[in-house]
Amino acid sequence: MINIVLFGPPGSGKGTQAKKLIEKYNLIHLSTGDILRNEIAHGTVLGEKAKAFIDAGELVPDDDIKAMVLKKFDEHKDSNGFIFDGFPRTCDQARFLRHELTDRDLRINIMITLNVPKEEIIGRLLKRAEIEGRPDDTKSIIEKRIEIYQNQAVAISGFYERMQKYVPIDGVGTVDEIFQRICNAVDATI
């Protein structure tokens, strides 16, 4: 099994790169953001609850995220592995992931952090707002999401650095250039 954590600020290209990685390595895409947006679109109880947090640029509570991740794990027990896209975002989530993987005799191969300067991120997300109209892609909410990311980033990176899984990658360039950088790093772990 290959398990990859994709980390980085909002708009750093996690979702974009995850789509390419699942094809190349035949993995399951576990994007907590996508699952939450799907719950919102279906008007579920979780979706109603999550919407308030997401629209404010806040993180959804850890317990809700953990329950979603466990469900997805159970649905894909026999897969070739997972791309964890946008998860974990807190130390509590990171400890939870390590615990659940260890329980299943599995491990994280690599934790990739996509580094992109703030101005570039804001530009990308404002452009996405024009195309997709996501309610959390407004200037003030983007700023809030970046601030929350920065508050968590040192601790999460440190967590994976201590496990010797942390690999920072330059997230500026064409999608294909960045993909190649990520593949080189992943291939070195398998």
Gap between the Cα atoms of 46 and 39, Å rounded? 7
Q: Is the CB of 87 or the CB of 166 nearer to ligand B4P? A: 87
Q: Is the CB of 14 or the CB of 165 nearer to ligand B4P? A: 14
Per CB under 6 A, 33 contacts ligand B4P: yes
Per CB under 6 A, 73 contacts ligand B4P: no
Per CB under 6 A, 11 contacts ligand B4P: yes
Cis peptide bond N-terminal to 88, omega within 30: yes
Which regions of the chain does DSSP assign to beta strands (E)? 2-7, 28-31, 81-85, 110-115, 166-170
Which residues, in sequence order, are CB contacts of 166 under 8 Å at separation 6+?
111, 113, 157, 160
Per CB under 6 A, 2 contacts ligand B4P: no
Q: Which of 109, 133, 72 is nearest to 186 (CA)?
A: 109
Per CB under 6 A, 84 contacts ligand B4P: no
Gap between the Cα atoms of 43 and 61, Å rounded? 18
Residue choice 4, 5, 7, 14 for contact with ligand B4P (CB under 6 A): 14
Which residues, in sequence order, are CB contacts of 142 under 8 Å at separation 6+?
10, 11, 57, 121, 122, 125, 126, 136
Per CB under 6 A, 3 contacts ligand B4P: no
Residues 146-165 that bind ligand B4P (CB under 6 A): none
Per CB under 6 A, 21 contacts ligand B4P: no
Helix, strand, or coil (residue 85) = strand
Radius of gyration over every alpha carbon of the chain, rounded to an integer in angstroms: 16
Per CB under 6 A, 27 contacts ligand B4P: no
Single out the segment in contact with ligand B4P by CB under 6 A; choices: 39-47, 52-60, 98-106, 152-160: 52-60
Per CB under 6 A, 68 contacts ligand B4P: no
Residue ranges in contact with ligand B4P by CB under 6 A: 10-16, 32-33, 36, 53-54, 59-60, 65, 86-87, 89, 93, 124, 128, 136, 145, 175, 178
